[in-house]
Amino acid sequence: MRQAGRLFQRLVSSQFFISSGAGLLCLHTNLQFGQGLDYTLASFVFLSTLFCYRLFNQNHVLQYGWKAIAGSPEILTIIAGLLAGLFYFLVEPGQRLYILLSLLLTSLYALPLLQSRNRTIRKAEKLLPGRQKGFAKLLLICVVWSWSTVALPYAGNPGGISIFLFAALLAARALFIAGITIPFDIRDRLLDHPYMNTLPQRIGVRKSLGIAVLALLTASGIFAILVFLHPIPAIFFAVEAVGAIAAIPLVLASPQQPAGLFFTGLLDGLLVLVPLIGLILAGIC
């Protein structure tokens, strides 16, 4: 049992777990749109998410360049990046422009990590909504996750998908991500420097929890509306609606929890569990 726990902890810390959630959400979105499963896109999103999370959370490559790679786990970061670049040319041509926009948004998040001495980059760090500005960081995370897991599947085969369905799913997914991301800022509020100006630092823990719960309730409400408007893939909207509701007690309990698997295992685990249940119900797994 201990070995299984250690294996899961390594899986989480290596960013494979959260990255698999991004890929599974793409497949889940295919089901919600009534599309065929796009494994090529899901592979690209998994690899690019793995590359970005490892790059940003263990940003030795950004700070020290190629010297950080030799004889270190950073080689996994480089392999993930190279494979993501290969899959970029394998996805549908219509998806590539959407991917470029996603990469642009991601670069805004990454820019402050460069710690460059270049005057132009340092000026851009102050102007652009990057990692050092808490609310902008939260907004970028929600937009990038929602865009990558909703807009990219949509771009692969947009025929027959209404703009309303696309916009509603995009908004609901972003709100779902916001609801489970705010607890991470609450967890880090005592460690984050005051200049980061995160949501809990600005308005306190209780109000931040209220916003997270409101985001999850709104997301669940949108998914519930889609259940009634689109009866054929209704079960897949219902799964995500239930997932958003299930996240609420975890969010409310988060301020009393120590840093660890409660956040990276349970809260992030919803991004894996929800689409996995949808795939099981579809008879895929």
From first to last of its 285 residues, what are the pLDDT tens digits of the chain?
556 556 656 666 668 889 999 999 999 999 999 999 999 999 999 999 999 888 777 554 444 444 444 445 578 888 999 999 999 999 999 999 999 998 888 877 665 544 444 454 444 444 444 444 557 778 888 999 999 999 999 999 998 899 999 999 999 999 999 999 999 888 877 665 555 677 787 888 899 999 999 999 999 999 999 999 987 788 999 999 999 999 999 999 988 887 777 888 888 889 999 999 999 998 865
Prediction pTM value: 0.85
CA dihedral 266, 30, 38, 46 (to 10 degrees): -20
What span, in angstroms and rounded, lies between the C-alpha atoms of 70 and 142? 33
CATH number reported for the structural domain that contains residue 42 in this entry: 1.10.600
Q: How many domains does the chain have?
A: 1
- State how far the Cα of 53 lies from the Cα of 4, in Å rounded to an integer: 23
**Residue ranges making up the domain that contains 150:** 2-281
Residue 77 confidence (pLDDT): 84
Q: Which run of H or of E encompasses 184? A: helix 163-187
CA-CA distance, 139 to 268, in Å (whole number)?
17
Burial of 8 (0-12, 13-18, 19+ CB in 10 A): middle
The torsion angles phi and psi of 3, rounded to 5 degrees, stand at: -65, -40
Specify the pLDDT at position 162: 92
Q: What is the pLDDT of residue 93?
A: 93
Q: How many CB atoms lie within 10 A of CB 157?
A: 17
What residues contact residue 232 under an 8 Å CB cut-off, 6+ apart? 34
**Would you say the C-alpha torsion 130, 134, 135, 141 has a positive or negative sign?**
positive
- Calpha distance 215→175 (Å, rounded): 5
Looking at residue 67, its pLDDT comes to: 44
* pLDDT for res 11: 62
Tokens (6 digits) for 270: 């919803």
The radius of gyration of the chain from alpha carbons, rounded to an integer in Å, stands at 19
